[in-house]
Amino acid sequence: MASTILKQLREDEREARKSLILEAVLKLFEKKPFDEIGMRDIAAEAGVSPAAIYRYFPSQDELFMEAFIKDLSSIKNVFQETFKEASQKSLPVDPLEEMGKAIVHHLIHNEATFQMMSYLMIKGNMPSYLLARFQALQSALIDKIIEVLTFAGISDPDRTISHAFISSVMGVLMTFRNYPGKEIINAEEHIHLLVSLIAKIFKKGLQP
């Protein structure tokens, strides 16, 4: 009994330290680009030694990926809140457009999430133990998009249509978020216009 309790306490302590390190990564991503962040920076932010980090994360890449997966849940919360608000509004509010704009707003004003998403897209690979968690979370996000597509009046939306919609929104965001010569507020306005167009195309198709 005592050994079981001791084992649980050790596991709880381990998880608390991992969480502390992940939070340090998220804070640093708000301050500087990921390619300027080293293990010493993370250790200083978390208040641990660089060597201690490797007891919890095999490499800096895997640390960054796990931080991203942890933060990705914030986008799921955006989906849930936006869908709830849109479903409570009377027409002509377009839930598809509202969701797209909410995602854009979140990723423009949350530097850590945007940087980690960009990082993951560049790396393009993930260890299997993280991949399973990422795929489960991604599946839940896609299911939520299908729900919004259905609510927006699109007949029988499937995962392919859901992928196409979120990819279109993310492509516009990646292209124009840090567009040279544009202030962030102007970039956001332009992206919102494009997201409105994307939502209309998905609902009505391209008009001749």
Share of the chain above pLDDT 90, in %: 18
Compute the average pLDDT of residues 145-173.
Answer: 89
pLDDT at 198: 94
Compute the average pLDDT of residues 92-104.
Answer: 83
Per-chain mean pLDDT for the chain: 82
Token representation of residue 191: 């992206």
Kindly tell me if the per-residue pLDDT of 152 is higher than 70. Answer: yes
Kindly tell me if the per-residue pLDDT of 8 is higher than 70. Answer: no
Determine the number of helices (DSSP H) and then strands (DSSP E) in the chain: 9, 0
Compute the average pLDDT of residues 129-148.
Answer: 85
Tally the residues of the chain. 208
pLDDT in tens, 119-136: 777 777 788 888 888 888
C-alpha–C-alpha distance, residues 141 and 151, integer Å:
15
pLDDT at 145: 86
pLDDT at 40: 92
CA angle (74 as vertex; 191, 29 as ends), nearest 5: 80
Kindly tell me if the per-residue pLDDT of 207 is higher than 60. Answer: no
Domain architecture of the chain: domains with CATH? 1-57 (1.10.10.60), 60-204 (1.10.357)
C-alpha–C-alpha distance, residues 153 and 97, integer Å:
12
pLDDT at 9: 63
pLDDT at 123: 72
pLDDT band at 181 (very low <50, low <70, confident <90, very high): confident
pLDDT at 83: 66
Compute the average pLDDT of residues 81-98.
Answer: 70
Location of structure tokens 């839940």: 140
Compute the average pLDDT of residues 10-19.
Answer: 78
Kindly tell me if the per-residue pLDDT of 86 is higher than 70. Answer: no
